[in-house]
């Protein structure tokens, strides 16, 4: 019997919860808790009679550590799955430590208020020292390592697709394909079309912050930062076709550079259509991506939060999104003294996801790995105490679970390289 507390009930959490309910021999009891309890109740009602998993719901504001502690003490879960927003990572980790419960999430910490003077001091120091200026980095959560180790608890960070599966692909490449890896290119392609001129596939605020930031990559032991969207290439993706790809900063580059130290270069590329980029640039130019509040008619409004209210809810894109995603990693390196290259990726169809769980493929490709990561923790396959990213664990059982639960891998031993 395993009791799991899921915090958050948005696009990604809904998929993860539905997938947990498909594996009810492990996920026997779930509590779905979020800021808006009505969303949890709606999902619980949808699942009633369709699963043997016992589901309860609760209201929680996870920005408040004490509320999370009270809920954990009441429900007594074996694991807390944080599928709310990156803003809540630290408060939920604090609550897990205080109550002695394992923790996992799907994205690394960033603050909601980037004007917070205390946070800005640390941020600006890091920008200077490390050389990348994204709002998120691992330092905040890595600072909890010793505390989790001492408590004998596991914190699994970033267990979605990217971050998440991409790091398991790296661990797999290192374990089975290479003696040494020289380069890693992570390619995230969304060939889906939802028919809107502009919409984001996951939380708009988090998504737009990420893609409007300067890009950066790891080269010969240091970060190289470039202006946003200034490196563009074309790539022919299996099952999708030719797409424009842009170099972005992405969180898993930071942990991979640490955990596979021989790698000389790590880059992350994502596809974007011209319409998305034009809209984003325009919104940025007029100040709509700003997180600094402005006064409007006597009220304080955060522009990017107002924009979120105007944009389609990513969870509503499911019925109208057609096409496929293709996300994976291309490696170069050496095996038995010979140069080789290797590509491992997953292709996922938006409409197939919608038929199965009522969501588009971006929520699906994040929610399924979250469930599989929870499965690894609950079944004791990943049990090393401390704060860890996915590449630090054995990739074999995780990739087998992904193959089984909806995200099977494809491989090529002669991939076309990215320039």
Binding region for ligand NDP (CB under 6 A): 7-13, 34-36, 39, 60-63, 83-86, 88, 106-107, 158, 160-164, 202-203, 206, 314-315, 366
Q: Which is nearer to ligand NDP, 151 or 211 (CB)?
A: 211
Choice between 172 and 333, CB closer to ligand NDP: 172
Contacts of 265 (CB under 8 A, 6+ apart): 182, 183, 184, 217, 218, 219, 220
For residues 301 and 291, give the distance between their C-alpha atoms in angstroms, rounded to a whole number: 9
Q: Which is nearer to ligand NDP, 228 or 390 (CB)?
A: 390
Closer CB to ligand NDP, residue 161 or residue 217? 161
- At closest approach, how far in Å is the CB of 164 from ligand NDP? 5
| Smallest separation (angstroms) from ligand NDP to the CB of 7 | 6
CB of 91 to ligand NDP, least distance (A): 8
Q: Name the minimum Å distance from CB 262 to ligand NDP.
A: 25
CA 419 → CA 191, 247, 267, 291, distances in Å? 21, 12, 11, 35
Residue 194 backbone dihedrals phi, psi, to 5 degrees:
-100, -5
- Could you write out the DSSP letters of every residue in 270-321? EE--HHHHHHHHHHHHTTTT--S-EEETTEEE-HHHHHHHHSPPGGG-GGG-
Asked whether the CA dihedral 142, 36, 20, 13 is positive or negative, the reply is negative
Quote the DSSP letter at residue 379: T
Residue 15 vs 151, nearer CB to ligand NDP: 15
The minimum distance between CB 2 and ligand NDP, in angstroms, equals 22
For CA atoms 148, 149, 155, 157, the dihedral sign is positive
Question: What number of H helices and E strands is found in the chain?
Answer: 15, 18
- Geometric angle at alpha carbon 367, from 366 and 373, rounded to 5°: 95
Min separation Cβ 53 and ligand NDP, Å: 19
Question: Whose Cβ is closer to ligand NDP: residue 88's or residue 216's?
Answer: 88
169's CB contacts (< 8 A; 6+ apart) are 328, 329, 344, 345, 395, 399, 409
Of 167 and 341, nearer to ligand NDP (C-beta) is 167
Nearer residue to ligand NDP within complex by CB, 263 or 361? 361
Q: How far is the CB of 413 from ligand NDP (least distance, A)?
A: 26
Residue whose CB is nearest to ligand NDP in the complex, by number: 10
CB of 350 to ligand NDP, least distance (A): 14
Contact (CB, 8 A) for 390 and 159: yes
φ and ψ at residue 269, rounded to 5 degrees: -125, 145
């Amino acid at each position: 019997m395993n009791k799991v507390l899921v915090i958050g009930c948005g696009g990604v959490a809904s998929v993860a919860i539905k997938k947990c309910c498909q594996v009810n021999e492990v996920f026997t009891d779930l509590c779905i808790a979020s800021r808006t309890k009505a969303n949890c109740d709606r999902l619980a009602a949808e699942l009633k009679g369709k699963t043997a998993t016992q589901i309860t719901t609760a209201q929680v504001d996870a920005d408040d550590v004490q509320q999370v502690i009270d809920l954990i003490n009441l429900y007594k879960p074996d694991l807390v799955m944080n599928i709310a927003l990156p803003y809540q990572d630290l408060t939920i980790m604090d609550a897990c430590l205080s109550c002695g419960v394992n923790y996992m999430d799907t994205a690394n910490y960033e603050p909601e208020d980037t004007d917070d003077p205390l946070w800005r001091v640390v941020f600006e120091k890091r920008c200077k020292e490390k050389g990348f200026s994204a709002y998120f980095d691992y330092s905040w959560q890595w600072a909890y390592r010793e505390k989790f180790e001492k408590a004998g608890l596991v914190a699994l960070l970033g267990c979605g697709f990217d971050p998440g599966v991409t790091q398991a692909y790296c661990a797999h490449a290192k374990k089975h394909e290479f003696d040494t890896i020289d380069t890693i290119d992570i390619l995230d392609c969304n060939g889906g079309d939802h028919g809107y001129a502009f919409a984001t596939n996951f939380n708009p605020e988090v998504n737009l912050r990420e893609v409007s930031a300067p890009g950066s990559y790891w080269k010969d032991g240091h970060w190289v930062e470039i202006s946003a969207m200034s490196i563009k290439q074309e790539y022919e993706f299996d099952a999708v076709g030719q797409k424009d790809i842009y170099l972005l900063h992405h969180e898993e580059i930071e942990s991979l550079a640490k955990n596979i130290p021989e790698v000389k270069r790590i880059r992350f590329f994502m596809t974007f259509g011209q319409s998305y980029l034009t809209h984003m640039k325009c919104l940025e130019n007029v100040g709509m991506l700003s997180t600094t509040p402005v006064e409007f008619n006597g009220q304080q409004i955060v522009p990017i939060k107002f924009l979120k209210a105007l944009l389609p809810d990513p969870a509503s894109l499911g019925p109208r999104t057609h096409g496929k995603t293709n996300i994976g990693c291309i490696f170069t390196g050496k095996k038995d003294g010979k140069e080789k290259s290797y590509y491992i990726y997953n292709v996922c169809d938006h409409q197939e996801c919608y038929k199965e769980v009522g969501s588009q493929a971006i929520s699906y490709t994040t929610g399924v790995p979250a469930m599989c990561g929870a499965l690894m923790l609950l079944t004791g396959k990943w049990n090393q105490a401390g704060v860890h990213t996915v590449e630090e664990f054995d990739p074999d059982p995780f990739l087998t679970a992904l193959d089984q639960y909806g995200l099977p891998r494809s491989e090529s031993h002669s991939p076309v390289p990215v320039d």
